[in-house]
Amino acid sequence: MTKREGARRQGPPRRKKVFLVGMYSGDHWPPFLSLAYLRAYAMSDERIRARYEIVVEEFSCRRDGEVERVADVLKGGDIIGFSCYIGNMPGVDAVGRLVRDRNATAKIVLGGPNVDYDAAAVLRETPWADVVVRGEGEVTFAELLRRWGDDEDESSVAGLAYRKGNRIIESPARPPIGTLDDIPSPYLDGGIDLKKARSVSNFIQTSRGCPFSCAFCQRPGNGQRPRYFSGDRVMAEMEHVLRERGKGFITVIDSDPFMNGEYFKSILDRFATLAPDKNVVLALTGNLFHLKEEMTAWMDSPRIRLAFGIQNINPEVLRVISRRFDKAQAETKLSRLLPKLTRADISLQIMLGLPKDTYEAFIDMLDWCLSFDVNQIIVYRTWLLPGTELWEKRDEYGLKYEPRLFNQVMETPTFSRGDLDRAQELGLYIDLFRTIPVVRSLLAGWGRALSGRIRNANVVLYQKLKEYLTGERGNMSESLDRRREMDWSRRGLYYGGENTFTLEERVEVLKGLKGYGESLEGEFGLPPGHWRAIIDRQRRRYEWLMELPGYLKKIAEGETGVPAALLVGSDLVRTVEILNGEGWTLRGLDLTEKAHQSILQLAYSRQWDAVRVLDYAALGAALPEENRRTVIFEEMWERLSRDPRSVDKVNGLAVGGSMIFLERDAVYADGGQRFPEILKTLGYRYIASRPVASGVSSFLWEKDK
């Protein structure tokens, strides 16, 4: 038998196994887009497909025992590639060492922003690794696979650092990819299976490269002119994500999306046509000064989250970090933009622990940010990212950092460790309290009233609120204990949602806020106003929402069809989650004024498709997909009775069924005669009322047969 015949009988050679490994520091994460790009580009080559099986594996490196489990999964790999960044390096190092012990012949490749800045030094410090890919990895990694597949070494591949005997060799740098669309989309080619993803968050990259050179930033391509994926491709990816998921949080990866206005207009226009009936949020982060006023019309939506990276306003700090910022120009810009972005979710981001900064200057900056009507002020602790200018000059600037906390700056010559901790805690509590809209709006008004009399009045008001709530006159010392920070994060703090606080905690905050306001009247002569009524009204609303699931259960005891009804009202997400979790099939139309909060909560809810968030003004439109035999209006009687278009709004919801108005008795009795007559005109007749709780009843109207 000839060798050729023997080979034919044995079949094709075994394809080598390639693992591309993404390790996250948390438990829930979006698909690892960088690795999906590597796989998509490599597998577009026929020779690579014939010789290799490439699998993307994603793990958490935080849970106990995960290192052993990951190493066990990877032990059979011929080639193992790790994506490396500051947050996962401890996990990568632990797994890499263990994999090398178990598989001496595997080729181990490192890539990513945490290793390509000084690839030779990384190889000296990680004896278990063979190769480091420098810069953009798609072309380099594919070429490396081809060379190894041909039993050739890596010496002819540009963009690498590799071992040759006892030496470490760096090959010539590889130029950036000219046409980004040459990289196949892992969303569109099936490389990312959204049905198996561990998070509803997704990254969509629109460009690479950054024209800025911020001293703290590790973004690849700093100082380079941005290169863009085509708008058609980005829109197709976005459409795919929304079609497959129907919900979620999409983060745009771009150094500054506001720089390329027409490009983003086409993407946002497409998003606007895809998203109106979906619980999805599109997140954009960019430079405030590049957002033109005409762009606001594209972005004023509760499904848009805009973050402006302020970072710092101190001229001395700005010089050190190579940032340009004009405070007066920023004030003018924000005063013009914010009134045109009333529906979008907006945040300002500032950094803590930068060189030359001080506690006093940080408080000034925080107070300045609080003077604007934005939803969040996000305070980030500075991380010293390897390869950045701050990293290289850390000793010169006297920056002390903690490697176990991703190189967070813990102390500087001008900012003591205690003051940094105090500033971070203050930022945390301000962000927390501002998740309750009435707290945010009232403290903003009080801050304006006291600004001429108290230095940094906005900050002082939040400091004193926390002291009041946790002191002798408050009772929230346990629930506001900073040791529960991670618990707050799981409940929504990271996303800035109102549901960060439970309804019970919101009621307690508002009770304390009322007493706090009264104390301010005595301490600072705060002018009396209608703020007491505002607080009481919102507190009663939260108390109502706490009881709403029980109210509906009480109605269901005597009325058929209620567990499958259409619920119409405000802030309904929690109620639908509770009742549907108990076997109901309740659907909801959420008419809340805080549409962004409801949409964001639903994006992360198991009941994401059970509630539709809708502007009250659009309620008159026909919604046949929402029609139910029974429609329950919760606290809507007064609103509908005063609406001249209520006939259209009601007629579009209930076809041939019954309506139940869940109301406080006094409000229903004070509804006037007009609305009952409208209901009769529409063919409904009043049947009966049933008490649900003290002062609360359900009022049943049915369509005449």
In a domain, 1, yes or no: no
Q: Report pLDDT digits (tens) over 90-110.
A: 889 999 999 999 999 999 999
In a domain, 543, yes or no: yes
Segment 240-257 shows an average pLDDT of: 92
Maximum separation of any 2 CA atoms in the chain, in Å? 103
According to the 3-state scheme, what is the secondary structure of 205-236? ECEECECCCCCCCCCCCECCCCEECCHHHHHH
- pLDDT bin (cut points 50, 70, 90) of residue 529 is confident
Q: Report pLDDT digits (tens) over 10-29.
A: 556 789 999 999 988 776 67
- According to the model, what pLDDT value does residue 405 have? 86
Segment 149-156 shows an average pLDDT of: 93
- According to the model, what pLDDT value does residue 656 have? 63
Q: Which CATH number characterizes residue 107's domain?
A: 3.40.50.280
In a domain, 427, yes or no: no
Contact 113, 89 (CB under 8 A): no
* Residue 573 and residue 537 share a domain: no
Q: How far apart are CA 216 and CA 222, in angstroms?
A: 11
Q: Which of 196, 193, 201, 60 minimizes the C-alpha distance to 604?
A: 201
* Residue 154 and residue 208 share a domain: no
506: pLDDT strictly greater than 90: yes
Contact 313, 365 (CB under 8 A): yes
* Residue 573 and residue 529 share a domain: no
Segment 203-215 shows an average pLDDT of: 93
448: pLDDT strictly greater than 80: yes
- According to the model, what pLDDT value does residue 62 have? 67
Q: Which CATH number characterizes residue 614's domain?
A: 3.40.50.150
Contact 153, 10 (CB under 8 A): no
Q: Which CATH number characterizes residue 299's domain?
A: 3.80.30.20
* Residue 267 and residue 321 share a domain: yes
* Residue 577 and residue 499 share a domain: no
- According to the model, what pLDDT value does residue 276 have? 85
The residues, ordered by sequence, that sit 6+ positions from 603 with a Cβ below 8 Å of its Cβ are 200, 247, 248, 249, 279, 280, 281
Q: Count Cβ neighbours within 10 Å for each residue of 337-364 and write b for 16 or more, e otherwise.
A: beeebeebbbbbbbbbbbbbbbbebbbb
Q: How far apart are CA 616 and CA 456, in angstroms?
A: 38
Please spell the DSSP secondary structure of 498-541, one letter per residue. Answer: GGGS-HHHHHHHHHHHHHHHHHHHHHH-PPP-THHHHHHHHHHH
395 to each of 113, 114, 299, 404, 557, how far by Cα in Å? 21, 19, 43, 18, 71
* Residue 696 and residue 592 share a domain: yes
* Residue 311 and residue 439 share a domain: no
* Residue 604 and residue 503 share a domain: no
Which of 125-134, 241-250, 318-327 comes out lowest in average pLDDT? 241-250
* Residue 205 and residue 164 share a domain: no
The values of phi and psi at residue 661, to 5°, are -105, 115
* End-to-end CA separation in angstroms for the chain: 89
Contact 513, 474 (CB under 8 A): no
Element (H, E) at 579: helix 573-581
624: pLDDT strictly greater than 60: no
Segment 333-353 shows an average pLDDT of: 95
In a domain, 493, yes or no: yes
- According to the model, what pLDDT value does residue 491 have? 42
**Sole residue written with tokens 């805009």:** 306
Question: CA geometry: angle at 36 spanning 31 and 41, to 5°?
Answer: 165
- pLDDT bin (cut points 50, 70, 90) of residue 489 is very low
Chosen domain end from 547, 574, 597: 547
494: pLDDT strictly greater than 50: no
- According to the model, what pLDDT value does residue 528 have? 77
* Residue 509 and residue 652 share a domain: no
In a domain, 176, yes or no: no
Considering the entire predicted model, what is its pTM? 0.92
* Residue 232 and residue 133 share a domain: no
Chosen domain end from 124, 151, 170: 170
Q: How far apart are CA 492 and CA 496, in angstroms?
A: 6
- According to the model, what pLDDT value does residue 362 have? 98
Higher pLDDT, 129 or 525: 129
In a domain, 178, yes or no: no
* Residue 308 and residue 260 share a domain: yes
Query: How many CB atoms within 10 Å of residue 262?
Result: 8
Contact 428, 462 (CB under 8 A): no
Segment 491-505 shows an average pLDDT of: 70
Q: Which of 294, 191, 204 minimizes the C-alpha distance to 241?
A: 204
- According to the model, what pLDDT value does residue 83 have? 95
**HSE value, Cβ hemisphere, 13 Å, CA-based, for 85:** 15
Which strands form 587-590's sheet, in the order they lie side by side?
611-613, 587-590, 566-569, 630-634, 658-664, 696-703, 684-693
267: pLDDT strictly greater than 50: yes
Tell me the Cα Rg of the chain.
29
- pLDDT bin (cut points 50, 70, 90) of residue 490 is very low
581: pLDDT strictly greater than 60: yes
In a domain, 694, yes or no: yes
- According to the model, what pLDDT value does residue 488 have? 43
CA 430 remoteness from chain centre: 18
555: pLDDT strictly greater than 90: yes
Tell me the range of 520-534, 581-595, 649-663 where mean pLDDT is highest: 581-595
- According to the model, what pLDDT value does residue 653 have? 77
Total domain count, the chain: 4
667 to each of 184, 494, 647, 701, how far by Cα in Å? 60, 38, 19, 17
- Determine the length of the chain: 705
- pLDDT bin (cut points 50, 70, 90) of residue 655 is low
Which residue segment(s) compose the domain that 205 sits in? 200-382
3: pLDDT strictly greater than 60: no
Segment 243-272 shows an average pLDDT of: 92
Q: Which of 147, 107, 153, 113 minimizes the C-alpha distance to 130?
A: 107
In a domain, 422, yes or no: no
Chosen domain end from 349, 364, 382: 382
